[in-house]
Structure 1
Amino acid sequence: MPRSTGWLFLLSTATMAAAPSYYRDVRPLLQKNCAGCHQPSAKASGLDLTSYAAFAAGGKKGPAFAAGKADESLTIQYLTGAAQPRMPLGVAPLSPADVQVFRDWIQAGAKDDTPASVDDNRPSVYLQPPVITSLRFSPDGKQIAVSGNREVLLHRVSGEGAPIRLHGKAERILSLAFSSDGKLLIAGGGTPAQFGEVQIWDAPNGKLLRTAVLTNDTVFGASLAPDASKIAVGAADNTVHVFETATAKELYKIGNHEDWVLSTVFGVDSKRFVSVSRDRAAKIIDANSGAFLENANLLKSELYAIARHPKKDIVVFGGEDRYPYVYLLDRPRNMKIADDTTLVRRIERQDGPITALDWSGDGKLIAVAGQSPKVNLYDADTGDHKLSCTGHTAGIYALSFSSDGTRLATGGFDGKVRIYSTADCSLVREFVPVPITATLTAGAK
């Protein structure tokens, strides 16, 4: 054959014969399917699968693998069911192709090819402020949690002291929620095209209590039931997943949506929740069984965000068509399902698609933000425009009222947190929530 064709053939054969990579092939499978139960804060059977070293060390049953001896390795035995219980526990077994990845990697020597620049346990280094995708005031109003890269940063609202850095596996944190007593902080996100993750933190002590790893992409709109019993989160595979907070065990998954599910919120009594999606629907779900109850709205446009009145089952949601809609979750008697009789009002059109909403703790104000660099405040009872908070230079993706309604925190594309007085939208404080390093040092490269 011609020399060039022969070289291409040899190159193709060499590529096809190459052993799987730990970093590229094995590690993502562990993160997606195994690390939720086998990680430092919840080492089931004494096994931590969040690093190569911990994986190699194994757990109570011994080393996880023996290089060059795939069939004798505990990893293969548990993945195939030769050892019981079959892993991953309580979910569908891995596909034969995924098991073969582990088998081939172990048989080829089980080498660690993690790049030297990658260290999941090293604090994130920032050369510029990252986009802020989520933030939330603590219930007592003294702290504010802000999303970072592979971490959540807990700042004192007063600005005193350094932030507490809650470092996790997920590269992106897309939603945050505190329990009403401030003891728990829920973070939802993941690593794009690899896995989604829900993190449950002991907020006062900065300790990761447990995590749930799911799907093959990031998750969105994590919300915590008012009684703190359940967590709901949307996903890019058009599903909603609901977890038990105390154990991080998945209770059920629902697939009633036809597009990405971007936000969720529970009802006042924790018995229902609403999920909104790019399929234009706001769906009301029974939180105990996962049964679909009904759509809260007539379909109009893609929906991106939702918030609930602090004491009533009334929600506001919005998205692509730029209008915030206020709806009742309870339908009056003698009204037909699938009409729009639960619509309370449509608030004025915004300057861009809506990506963030919040309802003040006293129930008096609704904050609306999106791809326009300002936040609009509305009278929740009348829908009248009250104030506009300005100062951002680009889109706003995160909003949070303090519990007493006197402060509003915002964040977005420009990477700065701004805290406003809701009395007049005057700027109280502005700061970059992450530590900025001017240049990378040799050890951080």
Structure 2
Amino acid sequence: MLLHLSMNSMRSTRFGNVALSLASILWASSSAGVFAADAKSTDGPAKVTFEDDVKPILRQHCFNCHSQSDKRGGLALDSYGAMMEGGGSGEIVYDDGDAETSRLWQLVNHDDTPVMPPNQPKIAAEQLQVIRSWIEGGILENSGSKAKAKKKNALAFVASSSGRPEGPPPMPEALPQRVPVVTQRAAATTAIGASPWAPLVALAGQKQISLYHTETSELLGVLPFEEGIPQSLRFSRDGQFLIAGGGEHSVQGIAAVYDIKTGERVAQVGDELDTVFDADVNDNMSRIALGGPQRMLRIFDATDGTQLFDIKKHTDWIYSVAYSPDGVLVASGDRSGGLFVWEADTGRLYLDLAGHKGAIRSISWRDDSNVLASASEDGTVKLWDVNSGKAIRSINAGSGGVTSVQFDHKGQIVTAGKDRKVRLWDANGKQLTETPAASEAVLEVAITHDSSQMIYGDWTGSVKVSAISDPKKIQELAANPPPAKERIGAVEQTLASIKVKLTPLQEKRDATTANWKSAEKALAEMDSKLAQQNEAIAKNQSAIAAKKTQREQTVAGLPALVSKSRDAHDSVIASRLGLGESPDDAALVKAADLELSLAEQLSKIAQQRRQIVQAKKDEAALAATVTTQQTELAALQTKRAEMEKAVEVARVATEQAEKSYAAVAGELSEVEKKRQLLAEAIQ
């Protein structure tokens, strides 16, 4: 929304009115001379104090209009006490060291209007630096003053988000189980809040807040609210925190922030003289707004509880307060039908939404921050376009008055009214469904994060959960649950039944695990056999290749041997022909040597021919062996594939058994934890 984006970039101030108007603060017109701050000779940084440094500057520029004798706008600046008191629009400086949000600094530095001093040049830079240093140093009164250390609560260290959190949505982990107040019957329902992302609902009771699981109706814990009765329950935008506003009528009112997981109260603001009817936190958990019978919309720093500013425009009790989801605006509605929208950072009036003829009992923002819904005792719910400031739709949501309204993530609207009905409407105002009539007027309603259930409570204190798909399907929740000693028996019975379920699941898990391990062992043995078989085949194939190479080499060498033997044969024939009739002994010896050489050559040729034949036989035998081995290998591989499937089946069965066991074991652990918390609550 462009308008919201531009507004969000405006400078932050601390005050609800345009703060100090021209009529409220008029600075004296005086000479343009400059008083330098007194130099101080110290070993460390010099203290900047009101008496020594700031007062001389204010005397020069401001005392003519802002002193005890002439308090323009109700503001006097000639004494430290008067300055700390502020003027008609509230305080102008704070001891938090933040100059940028100081109203005094914004006006003298010309960051906001009306600029001061009026009709004069801006105060000299040297003097402005003195004022800024004084604020940042803790607004010390004199040289003996010490800056206050602001106490920060747990919210000061929270990295908040304004939307759906990553991972599982926040749910209670170990909440208190003690019931502060036990009553025979519940009081009228004052507040119901549903988590924006989790199956979790908070119910207001007497000095307590009960948290339930909306899908199981299980009581998850009880948060103490010792100040009285919670009148409003809202979750932070990311669902991590619960903001409760309430107290005791004509005695006290506060707003408290609880951590959903632990139940710890991490922040508390306000000290009203009457109860708080509604409270809400902005998108980044830095500010809390609250309203009530005192007709003041108050804005607090959520991290240290400092009151930032008041908004005084309401003329009657403030029933409803809500920040827009983007944190840019804050809306408030009162008993006289006044409905206003304010700039969240400055407190300036943004819209005056006139149209209702009865008290504004409830307001709710659509997720995109563009539409505001208001529920009134005039019987209507109006949808307001906050860009144009016009009512874009008016829904007749119940005779006698509408008491509660809430948007869901789909833009649908759930309403409750004095006609005892709860209704669900689409974004165009068409009724989708309604619940059976309650016994009394329905005062509060909420819708679950998944838009599947409506939770509502009536004047008798009865709280019901109705399924949107079948509104007649109803379950009841107790805003003031039974004490721990009455609930622990049921928890022990649950523990016993879970243990009964757990034993066979454990046996099945052990059996499937053993089967899986056995199947994996058999598969490993098979892999070993396959490796041996492949090794044997490779060895025989290598032998075949070697014999083939040797045979081919022998065959290749035969022609040379045969040729040589022919030459030798020719020499033998020639020697025989040359012997004649009476050869001498030398001729005979020579002929004998030639014949012997020929015989040796022929023998070698015959031997190599036999080797060639034998090599062929060996190759054939090895090839047959390899064929047999390969056949056996294929059979082993087929068997291995079957074994691998068996291992996978065993693994899946083991995982399923483990999952089933873990689920019940986890349930057992949670119930045991709850039993322990109940036992501690009883003690």
Alignment TM class, shorter chain as reference: 0.5 to 0.7
1:299 positional shift: 5.4
Matches of 2:430 and 2:196 in 1, distance apart?
27
Greater alpha carbon shift after TM alignment, 200-209 vs 365-374: 365-374
Structure 2 contact 267–302 (Cα < 8 Å) conserved: no
Match in the other structure for 2:395: 347
Q: Tell me which amino acid in the other structure corresponds to 2:189.
A: I
1:302 positional shift: 2.4
Q: TM-score, normalised by structure 2?
A: 0.43
- Of 433, 443, 458, the match for 1:387: 433
1:218 positional shift: 0.5
The equivalences for 1:32-431 within 5 A come to: 123-159=180-216, 161-298=218-355, 300-331=357-388, 342-363=390-411, 365-381=412-428, 383-431=429-477
Alignment partner of 2:326: what SS? coil
Identity of matched residues, %:
22
Matches of 1:426 and 1:245 in 2, distance apart?
41
1:175 positional shift: 0.4
Structure 2 contact 179–481 (Cα < 8 Å) conserved: no
Structure 1: gaps (5+ residues): 1-82, 91-120, 332-340, 438-443
Alignment partner of 2:396: what SS? coil
Larger radius of gyration: 2
Relative to structure 1, is the Cα distance of residues 211 and 268 closer, same or farther in structure 2, using a 3 angstrom cutoff? closer
1:428 positional shift: 4.3
C-alpha deviations, 1:327-378, integer Å up to 9, x for none? 11111xxxxxxxxx71101112512211111111211x21121222111222
Structure 2 contact 423–435 (Cα < 8 Å) conserved: yes
C-alpha deviations, 1:105-157, integer Å up to 9, x for none? xxxxxxxxxxxxxxxx9821212122221111223332211101111111122
Q: Tell me which amino acid in the other structure corresponds to 2:446.
A: S
Relative to structure 1, is the Cα distance of residues 312 and 211 closer, same or farther in structure 2, using a 3 angstrom cutoff? closer
Q: Tell me which amino acid in the other structure corresponds to 1:193.
A: S
Q: RMSD over aligned Cα, in angstroms?
A: 2.6
Structure 1 contact 296–329 (Cα < 8 Å) conserved: no
Q: Tell me which amino acid in the other structure corresponds to 1:404.
A: D
Alignment partner of 2:225: what SS? strand
C-alpha deviations, 1:7-30, integer Å up to 9, x for none? xxxxxxxxxxxxxxxxxxxxxxxx
Structure 2 contact 398–418 (Cα < 8 Å) conserved: no
Structure 1 contact 407–420 (Cα < 8 Å) conserved: yes
1:259 positional shift: 0.6
Alignment partner of 2:277: what SS? strand
Q: Tell me which amino acid in the other structure corresponds to 1:421.
A: A
Relative to structure 1, is the Cα distance of residues 160 and 261 closer, same or farther in structure 2, using a 3 angstrom cutoff? closer
Relative to structure 1, is the Cα distance of residues 433 and 278 closer, same or farther in structure 2, using a 3 angstrom cutoff? closer
Structure with a larger share of its residues in strand: 1
Structure 2 contact 199–449 (Cα < 8 Å) conserved: no
Matches of 1:253 and 1:379 in 2, distance apart?
36
Matches of 2:396 and 2:437 in 1, distance apart?
21
1:308 positional shift: 1.4
Relative to structure 1, is the Cα distance of residues 184 and 247 closer, same or farther in structure 2, using a 3 angstrom cutoff? farther
Structure 2 contact 443–459 (Cα < 8 Å) conserved: yes
Structure with a larger share of its residues in helix: 2
Matches of 1:139 and 1:193 in 2, distance apart?
33
Q: Tell me which amino acid in the other structure corresponds to 1:232.
A: A
Q: TM-score, normalised by structure 1?
A: 0.66
Greater alpha carbon shift after TM alignment, 238-247 vs 188-197: 238-247
Match in the other structure for 2:480: 434
Structure 1 contact 418–427 (Cα < 8 Å) conserved: no
1:318 positional shift: 2.3
Aligned residues: 314
Q: Tell me which amino acid in the other structure corresponds to 1:357.
A: V
Alignment partner of 2:347: what SS? coil
Match in the other structure for 1:59: none
